[in-house]
Amino acid sequence: YGLLGIAFLLGFRRECAGRPDAGLTLGAMLRVVGRDRAFMLFILANLLMMLVYAQVESPLIQYLTRAGAPEVETLVALLVATNALTIITLQFPLLHLTRRWRVSLRLQFSILLMASAQVLFALSSPALLWPWLVAVFLLSVGEAVLFPLFNVLIDEMAPAHLKGSYFGASALAGLGWALSPLVGGWLLQVWGGPALFAVMTAICVLVFLLYGAGNRVARPSADSAGCGE
C-alpha cells in the first residue's frame, strides 16, 4: 500500500505540474472560484443537499430510538438494505431513462423526491414500518439521479485550465455531511423528529431555488476566469 501510494503521488505530481492552477494555494483557489457566482451557488446548494441527505444516518436512527420504534434494530437494517438495493438495482436504469432529460429537469426531479422523503419522515409514525421504507426508497431514487450529476456539472462549469481548482473547491460541499450529525442532533433535541425533517424539507425547497438561481447568473468568460495573480 505504501509503494502504491508513493506511485500515485509521483504520477499525479507529473500530471499536474503543467496545469495553470497547479501552484495555487487554497486562498488563491478560493479567490479564483469565488469570482464565479453561479458556481458558488452550486456549491452552496450541494452543501445543503448533503446536509439533508445525511440525516438518514445518525439523526434518523436517534429519532427512531428515542421515539420507541418497535424492533428498531430490524427497522434500521431494513432501511439500510432498501437504500443499498435501490442504488444497486436502479441507478443505471434511472441514468439511462433520464439521459435525454435536461440537467435542470433531472435536478428538479431528484430534489422533489428527496423533499418527499423528508415529508414522509416528518409525518410517519415510528410504530409503522412501510412509510419509512417508502421514504428511504424515494430518497435513494433521488440520490441515484442527483449524485452522479454533481461531477458532470462541475466538469461543465469549470474552465478547461481551472478544472483542478473547481473540483477542489467542490469538496467544500462535504461540510454539509460533516455538519449533519451536529445540526440534526441539535434540532432533534430542541424541537423533535418531525420538526427536524420539516426543516430538511424547507432546505430542499431552498436548494431547488439555489439551483435555479445559479442557472440565471451570468458566468465569467473562460479568459477572465484565470487567477490573474
Tell me, yes or no, whether 51 lies in a domain: yes
Which pLDDT score is estimated for 156? 84
Which pLDDT score is estimated for 227? 44
Which pLDDT score is estimated for 220? 66
Question: How many angstroms separate the Cα of 14 from the Cα of each of 6, 10, 25, 124?
Answer: 13, 6, 18, 54
Q: What is the DSSP letter of 171?
A: G
Tell me, yes or no, whether 168 lies in a domain: yes
Tell me, yes or no, whether 225 lies in a domain: no
Tell me, yes or no, whether 9 lies in a domain: no
Could you tell me the residue range of the domain that residue 68 belongs to?
37-217
d(CA 218, CA 89): 39
Domain count of the fold of the chain: 1
- Domain containing residue 200: CATH number: 1.20.1250.20
- List all residues 6 or more positions away from 153 whose beta carbon is below 8 Å from its beta carbon: 42, 103
* CA–CA–CA angle 55, 208, 138 (5° rounding): 50
Tell me, yes or no, whether 18 lies in a domain: no
Tell me, yes or no, whether 8 lies in a domain: no
Q: What is the DSSP letter of 109?
A: H
Single pTM value for the model: 0.81
- 124 close to 136: Cβ distance less than 8 angstroms: no
Tell me, yes or no, whether 13 lies in a domain: no
C-alpha cell at position 109:
426531479
Q: Tens-digit pLDDT profile for the chain (229 aa)?
A: 555 555 655 554 554 445 555 555 556 666 767 778 888 899 999 999 999 999 998 899 999 999 888 889 999 999 999 999 999 999 999 999 998 899 889 999 999 999 999 999 999 998 899 999 999 999 999 999 999 888 888 888 888 777 777 887 888 888 999 999 999 999 999 999 999 999 999 999 999 999 888 777 766 665 545 544 4
**Which single residue is written with the C-alpha cell 467542490?**
170
- 139 close to 83: Cβ distance less than 8 angstroms: yes
Which pLDDT score is estimated for 187? 95
Q: In Å, how far from its chain's centre is CA 85?
A: 19
Tell me, yes or no, whether 120 lies in a domain: yes
